[in-house]
């Protein structure tokens, strides 16, 4: 590159920030470098490319986000606006999301309280969030009551499980006359499939396991989860559309949402290239092995990301609780609502298409 091309970017501004600045101006004019610069790029990638009508957006959620209120304040507005088409979450986020949906409360506190004293007084702490131990007991009781009903007495994908569960949370919100601000109830309303990559690793899974001791027939079909999520991505590409992943944190949900492409290419032997858009917010590092799924460029080597789309990949190293409200506010201010894809209603059809393409590919290759 010539010297002039290196210096072609906007000049760094030192203009004083005004009072009462709008979120668009804050991001565009004052997030200029370092991870503020990456957040600026992330906001524009999301709004200008990922929110195009032909893009199917999967979102992964890791970390204790819903106890901090981010379910109702950010994730639900994204769902309502049609900015999220399918979700992979830890079970813990969905469990704590349920507290709000059934009328229970969590409170601001301090990370420096005496935990022995909190335990003696029946108060639970998630860093600087506090709540009565009875919140857990009440939520567990709600789950056991709901999951003992006849419609849960079978094997099902976690998407079906959360869809059925979302209906109960939605009805509970109606009875309590509280706003529909839970992830589960809104995913039910807008038919957004919600998956949990490790369904046994949360209080929801613990209650399902407890009910098994009482002869419950409820089981999770994790094979269907793997195939359904791959079918969602494959269908987006089959229609000459694009697939984008919006990743908050890392861990199992990140890998699960990204492994859809290796499942299509490597395992099912279908000709594909990888996700088109990769947007991640994380505070982990790749050199310690803690950045699960690693960087976009490393993901290319696995077939998770289309190598031709690397310029459309942004990693912002920051705290989700800081960046999610900014990204959400920016997107809602800059982009009109999208039509809801209602993917949950189409999962059976998408799965058949994936199976047919796999069998055709295997037959043509004459090996597998």
CB atoms closer than 10 angstroms to residue 239: 10
35 within 8 A of 308, measured Cβ to Cβ: no
Place of tokens 């029946």: 122
User: What b/e readout covers 327-344, taking b as 16+ CB neighbours within 10 angstroms?
Assistant: bbbbbbebbeebebbebb
Please report, for residues 66, 83, 174, 354, the alpha-carbon distance to residue 344 in angstroms, rounded to integers and kept in the order given: 22, 15, 22, 16
Distance CA 30, CA 16 (A): 9
Q: Please report, to the nearest 10 degrees, the dihedral formed by the alpha carbons of residues 234, 240, 242, 243 taken in order.
A: 0
217 is catalytic: no
- How big, in percent rounded to 5, are the helix, strand and coil portions of the chain? 55, 15, 35
Distance CA 104, CA 100 (A): 5
290 within 8 A of 247, measured Cβ to Cβ: no
73 within 8 A of 294, measured Cβ to Cβ: no
Residues 6+ apart with CB under 8 A from 249: 60, 61, 62, 63, 65, 281, 282, 320
Beta strands in 255-364 (DSSP E): 277-282, 313-317
- Identify the burial level of 17 via C-beta atoms within 10 angstroms of its C-beta, where 0-12 means exposed, 13-18 middle and 19 or more buried: exposed
Q: Which of 304, 334, 337, 366 is catalytic?
A: 304
SS3 154: coil
The residues assigned a catalytic role are 304
């Amino acid at each position: 590159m010539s010297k002039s091309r290196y210096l072609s970017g906007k000049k760094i501004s030192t203009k004083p920030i005004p009072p009462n600045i709008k979120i668009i101006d804050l991001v565009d004019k004052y997030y200029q470098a370092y991870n503020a610069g990456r957040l600026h790029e992330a906001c524009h990638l999301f709004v200008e490319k990922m929110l195009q009508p032909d893009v199917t957006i999967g979102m992964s959620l890791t970390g204790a986000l819903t106890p901090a209120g981010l379910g109702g304040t950010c994730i639900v507005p994204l769902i309502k606006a049609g900015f999220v088409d399918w979700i992979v979450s830890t079970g813990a986020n969905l469990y704590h999301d349920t507290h709000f949906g059934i009328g229970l409360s969590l409170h601001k506190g301090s990370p420096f309280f005496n935990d022995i004293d909190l335990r003696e007084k029946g108060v639970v702490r998630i860093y600087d969030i506090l709540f009565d131990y009875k919140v857990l007991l009440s939520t567990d009781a709600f789950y056991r009551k709901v999951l003992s009903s006849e419609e849960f007495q079978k094997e099902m994908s976690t998407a079906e499980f959360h869809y059925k569960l979302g209906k109960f949370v939605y009805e509970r919100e109606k009875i309590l006359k509280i706003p529909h601000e839970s992830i589960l109830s809104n995913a039910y309303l807008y038919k957004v499939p919600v998956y949990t990559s490790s369904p046994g690793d949360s209080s929801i899974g613990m209650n399902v396991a407890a009910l098994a001791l009482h002869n419950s027939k409820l089981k999770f079909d994790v094979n269907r989860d793997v195939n359904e999520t791959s079918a969602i991505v494959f269908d987006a590409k089959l229609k000459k559309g694009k697939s984008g992943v919006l990743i908050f944190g890392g861990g199992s949900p990140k890998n699960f949402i990204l492994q859809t492409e290796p499942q299509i290419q490597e395992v099912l032997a279908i000709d594909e290239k990888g996700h088109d858009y990769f947007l991640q917010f994380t505070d982990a590092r790749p050199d310690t092995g803690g950045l699960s799924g690693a960087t976009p460029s490393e993901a290319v080597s696995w077939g998770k990301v289309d190598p031709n789309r690397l310029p459309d990949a942004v990693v912002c190293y920051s705290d989700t609780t800081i960046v999610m409200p900014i990204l959400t506010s920016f997107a809602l201010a800059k982009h009109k609502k999208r039509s809801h894809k209602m993917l949950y209603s189409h999962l059976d059809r998408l799965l058949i298409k994936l199976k047919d393409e796999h069998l055709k590919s295997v037959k043509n290759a004459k090996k597998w």
